[in-house]
Amino acid sequence: MHDQLGSPSSSRMLARYLTDIEQLLDDQHGEAALREAFDLPRIAVALTDPELRCSGEQLTSWCRQWIGPSGYERAAGGLDYERVGRSVSERVAQEGGATPESVPTRALKRLRLRRHMRTPPRGFSVSRSENLAPQQAETVDMCTALVEAARRWYARSACHDTVVQANLARLAVLR
C-alpha cells in the first residue's frame, strides 16, 4: 500500500488537548495550563517515534525547530520567542532527560483521555495577559508559545507523517 497525498488529517484528540490548555489559561489556572503545555514537546516527539519514545536531545531539537514562527522576529510588545523557547527547552530537556530514551506515559495518557471530551469553544485571548503580574504573564507566554508550536508542528509536519498518524490511531483505541 502506498501513501496517498490528500488533504491533511486532523486530530481531535490533539485539538482538544490544546483547547484545554487555552481554557485553563482563560480560567486563570496557570500552573495547570503550564503542566499540560510542558508535555506538548514530549507528546510531539513521542508521536514521531514508532515506539513512542523520546530523549532530552530530541526534545531540545523539537523546541528549537517549532517554538516561534519560522523567520520570526520579536514584535514590538509581542512575545519574545527566543527567550521563551530557551526557557521551555531547558525545562523540558531537564524534566525529560532523566532516562536516555523513555516513553512519556503520563503525557500520552492525558492526551488519550481527551478523545471522548467535547471541545469547548476557544475563548482565550492573549490580550487578556496584558494586565497580569510578571510571573502570570510568563506562564501565559510559555503556554502560548507551546500551543502555537504544537499547532505549527501538526499542520506542517505531523498531519502528513504516517508514523504520527498511526500512533494517534493507536492511542485512540487504547483503553
In-domain check, residue 137 = yes
* Dihedral of alpha carbons 135, 82, 126, 63, sign: negative
In-domain check, residue 49 = yes
Rounded mean pLDDT, 169-173: 85
Rounded mean pLDDT, 124-146: 77
In-domain check, residue 145 = yes
Confidence band, pLDDT 50/70/90 cuts, at residue 171: confident
Burial (CB count within 10 angstroms: exposed 0-12, middle 13-18, buried 19+), residue 53: middle
Residues 65-105 have pLDDT tens digits of: 998 766 555 454 467 778 877 888 788 767 655 556 788 88
Task: Name which residue leads in pLDDT, 87 or 10.
Answer: 87
pLDDT of residue 13: 87
- Partner residues linked to 102 by β-bridges: 54
In-domain check, residue 5 = no
pLDDT of residue 120: 52
pLDDT of residue 101: 74
SS3 102: strand
pLDDT of residue 136: 86
In-domain check, residue 4 = no
In-domain check, residue 61 = yes
State how far the Cα of 141 lies from the Cα of 84, in Å rounded to an integer.
Answer: 7
**CB atoms closer than 10 angstroms to residue 134:** 7
Residues 100-130 have pLDDT tens digits of: 678 888 888 878 775 555 555 555 455 555 6
Task: Name which residue leads in pLDDT, 158 or 82.
Answer: 158
Asked if residue 134 has pLDDT above 50, the reply is yes
SS3 145: helix
In-domain check, residue 18 = yes
In-domain check, residue 148 = yes
In which domain, by residue range, is 59 found?
A: 12-117+130-173
Number of domains forming the structure of the chain: 1
